[in-house]
Structure 1
Amino acid sequence: MRLMSYNIQKGYGGRDQRYNLQRTIDVIEHENPDIICLQEVDHNMNRTRFHNQPTIFKEHFGYAGYDFQWNHKIKTGGYGNLILSRFPLRVVEHVCLKLNHRKKRGAQVAVVVTPEGPLLLIGWHLGLAEKQRHAQVEHFFQQAVYQDNAQLPTIIVGDYNDWRDTLARGPFERQGFRQITKPIRKFRSFPAYLPMGALDKAFVKGKLYVNEARLVKRKLTKAASDHLPLVIDFHLKKFDEV
């Protein structure tokens, strides 16, 4: 199975700053993922021609599983996180990660009913301050929707904004997760045209077998967004069990 995590920057190019959602769609189609986790997906905003981007993605790919989470509302529009899946979703829940006066952030939680068994999937976009990110992750691990499903194979993906990679040595280590986006030098994803920071990460737990984790480095991905997309090929069973 293949998962893609991608901060699409609302469909704006990383260098030319032109709005062109077709480039984003082409990037996704080229990798043909079974599960798609997107961040910064716009809805009903002047800057993106008042497009309903969640619906555009849903109708274009036609996947069985769909969930959109508002993160930041601006009048009648805003942006957030989107999950699309070839496989059905259940136990879909949104967890607010807003702390104090900080910008609203959120985590999407879903159990994906894959052909190899249920997968606990979390997609999120964490805050800009290091202490804030640690507090957000600690807060999430205390939520009932996570604790009630923590026995499942789990993957947490998204834009972590974790420049110094301190989350791996903190809450994730205490929860028994392993980071699959390392060494850091191979996963520098931002800015896409000249990557310096490894901001797009993935942590897994349980019986989840990763064949490959990689960034998609092509001419198009360097132009379509300010982040490179992260692709993960994995199984929930060992090869001799599949």
Structure 2
Amino acid sequence: MSTLRVATYNIHKGVLRDFFGLRRVARIHELRARLHELDSDLIFLQEVQGQNERHQRRFEHWPAEPQDVFLAKSPTLKHTFETAYGRNASYLHGHHGNALLSRYPIIGQENRDVSDHALEKRGVLHCVVDVGGRQVHCFVVHFGLFARSRDRQLDAVLDWIESAVPASEPLIIAGDFNDWRNVLSDRLCKRIGAVEVFDACRPRSAAAQRAVYYVRDRLSELGVSPEAAIPGLPRTVRAARTFPALVPWFRMDRIYQRGFRVRSTAVLKGLEWSRLSDHSPLVADLELIARS
């Protein structure tokens, strides 16, 4: 069995305002150190700066390389991760988007523009990662601030997954969904047979949900989609509160998976993390289910 530690984090471009909100402070070096302390195998990142000439002029020691490349190196400058970057928003002084850091080979990648209007540039990055000979499909998402935009963006991602990812292959979808009202989860999970990691670990009704997840795991081991086999299979999303990082209340960030057992989950919060971004990172330990 292969066990993966997966994290997702909206890094706010590595820049945050100070405690009083009077000035912007670069946090990218400290952020890199904390990311490497997570000991994650896959890190799904949003708001990653591919280039920012203003920050290079303004902040001392600002990295000359793209942030995904910078973050892939440990503080001792050892290259630890492979990286993939998908540009979403371009402007005169630079661009930003989503990124994946992987300790496993990235054997394929594609970035698609899912922007719903000119005011918000959004994209989804799809990477295929080779984990011990198994192809794991990773989708890094950052959805819009408007509900109708998120609806259309989710439909675009689900259409993509259904056309590009065989139902038998493992799948992870993670990022900033901006779905604080929990409107998208049921549709996402039912359509592609995915489970949100906190839902798997912290069911609301213990006895009933244990039975549900036992059936779900057994069907998954047989290569059968639980939702296809049992229409209306109950589920209750218990997604973590991740925003704002200082006092998390809104459930903005998620990790969905298919083809894994969820061993543990955590939302990382507190002053040390709130100094780095306005979102809290999520971490999950996933065990890859063997082929039947």
Q: Secondary structure at the match of 1:156?
A: strand
Alignment of 1:46-85 (within 5 A): 46-49=53-56, 51=63, 52-60=66-74, 62-85=79-102
- Comparing 11-20 with 107-116, greater Cα deviation is found at 11-20
Q: Secondary structure at the match of 2:275?
A: helix
For the aligned residue pairs, the C-alpha RMSD in angstroms reads 2.2
Partner of 2:165: 149
**8 Å contact 1:63–1:87 — kept in the other structure?**
no
Residues 185 and 204 of structure 1, relative CA distance in 2, 3 Å threshold: closer
**8 Å contact 2:43–2:101 — kept in the other structure?**
yes
Q: Distance in 1 between matches of 2:183 and 2:5?
A: 27
User: Which amino acid in 2 is paired with 1:7?
Assistant: N
Partner of 1:13: 16
User: Which amino acid in 1 is paired with 2:243?
Assistant: F
**8 Å contact 2:53–2:93 — kept in the other structure?**
no
Q: CA deviation at 1:23?
A: 1.8
Partner of 1:197: 250
Alignment of 1:66-145 (within 5 A): 66-115=83-132, 117-143=134-160
Residues 170 and 196 of structure 1, relative CA distance in 2, 3 Å threshold: same
User: Which amino acid in 1 is paired with 2:261?
Assistant: Y
Q: Distance in 2 between matches of 1:153 and 1:185?
A: 22
**Residue 39 of structure 1, aligned match among 43, 46, 61:** 46
Partner of 2:269: 217
**8 Å contact 2:54–2:93 — kept in the other structure?**
no
Q: Secondary structure at the match of 1:221?
A: helix
Of structures 1 and 2, the larger Rg is shown by 2
Q: CA deviation at 1:159?
A: 0.5
Partner of 1:30: 37
- Comparing 47-56 with 111-120, greater Cα deviation is found at 47-56
Q: Distance in 2 between matches of 1:14 and 1:32?
A: 27
How many residues align structurally?
237
**8 Å contact 1:119–1:154 — kept in the other structure?**
yes
Partner of 1:227: 279
Q: Give the alignment's TM-score, normalised by structure 1.
A: 0.89
Q: CA deviation at 1:116?
A: 6.7
Percent identical residues:
26
Q: Distance in 1 between matches of 2:28 and 2:269?
A: 18
Q: Distance in 2 between matches of 1:14 and 1:185?
A: 30
